[in-house]
C-alpha cells in the first residue's frame, strides 16, 4: 500500500548516449482503483505544452516519493514504458534522517528470476549541476531562519551590512549638515577646522559628478527596469496561458454538449 502523500511526476531533459541531463519536471495526474493508473490525456496535454516552450527537451522518466522501489512502482513503471522505452525513475524519500541527499535514481532491467522474466531496478549514479541563480536561491532557502533561530543566508547578511553602513553614513552626513546650519544661524561658534574637514569630506566623492558615473548609473538603472519588465511579461504570459487553457477546456465541453444535443434531434 502506497503512502497517501505519494506524488508522481514526469522528468524532462536531454539525453546524449548514456548520459541524461534532467532539467525540469511536472506533476502527473493519476487515479487509484486497485492500482495507480496514470492519466494519459493529462500527460499528452502537458507534453504539448512543454514542447512549445522546451522544444529541445524530451520525456526521460518519472519521479515519486518513497524509499526502495516496490511492486506498485513496477506497475507504474510499466505504464511509463509505453511513453518511453527505457525511462529512469527518481525516488525522493522525505522522511529519511540521513545526512546525504534523499534522492536515488534507478533504471529498469529485465532479468530471469526462477525461470521467469522479471523487471528489476538498478541504482544509477548522478551528479548535481546548478546555475548561479539557483545557487543563490538554494543558499537563501537553506540558511533562512526557522522557528526561533537567528540564522540567515550570506546574501541577507551582506545586504544587511550594506544597509547598516549606508544608514550610518546618512546619519553622520545629516549631523554635519545640522551643525553647519547651526553655525550659519549663529547658534554655535564657527570652527574653521570643522569646516575644512567638511569640505575635505565633500571632495572625497568626485565620482558622483563624473560622466563615467552617470553612464554606469543609468546603465544599471535601465538593466533593473528591463528585469522588472521581463518579470511582468513573464507573469502576463503565465496568466494568458491559464486563460487559454481554461478557454480550451470550456470549448471542449461545449463541443461535447453540442454533439450530444445534435444526437438527440437527429
pLDDT one-digit tens code per residue, 22-68: 988 999 999 888 788 899 999 999 988 888 888 888 999 999 998 88
E strand or H helix at 224: helix 211-265
Count of alpha carbons within 13 Å of 225, Cβ hemisphere only? 6
3-state helix, strand, coil in the chain (%, to 5): 50, 20, 25
pLDDT one-digit tens code per residue, 179-220: 889 888 888 888 888 888 888 887 776 556 667 777 888 888
Average pLDDT over residues 128-149: 63
What pLDDT score was predicted for residue 265? 38
Hey, which CATH number is domain 8-124, 1.10.10.10, 3.30.70.920, 3.40.50.300, 3.40.140.10? 3.40.140.10
Among candidates 177, 204, 180, 174, which has minimal Cα distance to 192?
180
pLDDT one-digit tens code per residue, 64-86: 998 888 888 888 999 999 988 88
Amino acid at each position: 500500500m502506497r503512502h497517501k502523500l505519494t506524488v508522481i511526476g514526469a522528468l524532462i531533459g536531454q539525453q546524449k548516449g548514456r548520459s541524461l541531463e534532467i532539467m525540469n519536471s511536472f506533476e502527473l495526474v493519476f487515479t487509484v482503483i486497485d492500482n495507480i493508473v496514470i492519466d494519459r490525456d493529462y500527460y499528452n496535454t502537458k507534453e504539448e505544452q512543454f514542447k512549445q516552450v522546451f522544444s529541445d527537451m524530451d520525456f526521460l522518466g518519472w519521479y515519486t516519493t518513497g524509499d526502495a522501489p516496490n511492486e506498485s512502482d513496477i506497475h507504474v513503471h510499466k505504464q511509463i514504458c509505453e511513453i518511453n522505452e527505457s525511462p529512469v525513475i527518481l525516488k525522493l524519500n522525505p522522511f529519511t534522517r540521513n545526512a546525504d541527499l534523499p534522492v536515488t535514481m534507478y533504471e529498469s532491467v529485465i532479468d530471469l528470476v526462477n525461470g521467469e522474466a522479471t523487471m528489476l531496478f538498478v541504482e544509477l549514479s548522478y551528479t548535481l549541476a546548478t546555475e548561479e541563480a539557483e545557487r543563490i536561491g538554494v543558499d537563501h532557502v537553506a540558511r533562512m531562519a526557522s522557528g526561533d533561530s537567528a540564522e540567515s543566508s550570506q546574501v541577507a547578511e551582506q545586504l544587511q551590512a550594506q544597509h547598516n553602513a549606508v544608514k550610518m553614513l546618512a546619519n553622520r552626513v545629516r549631523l554635519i549638515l545640522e551643525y553647519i546650519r547651526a553655525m550659519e544661524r549663529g547658534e554655535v561658534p564657527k570652527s574653521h577646522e570643522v569646516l575644512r574637514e567638511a569640505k575635505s569630506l565633500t571632495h572625497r566623492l568626485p565620482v558622483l559628478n563624473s560622466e563615467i558615473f552617470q553612464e554606469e548609473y543609468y546603465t544599471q538603472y535601465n538593466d533593473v527596469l528591463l528585469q522588472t519588465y521581463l518579470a511582468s511579461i513573464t507573469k502576463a504570459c503565465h496568466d494568458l496561458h491559464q486563460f487559454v487553457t481554461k478557454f480550451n477546456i470550456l470549448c471542449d465541453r461545449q463541443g461535447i454538449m453540442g454533439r450530444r444535443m445534435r444526437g438527440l434531434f437527429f
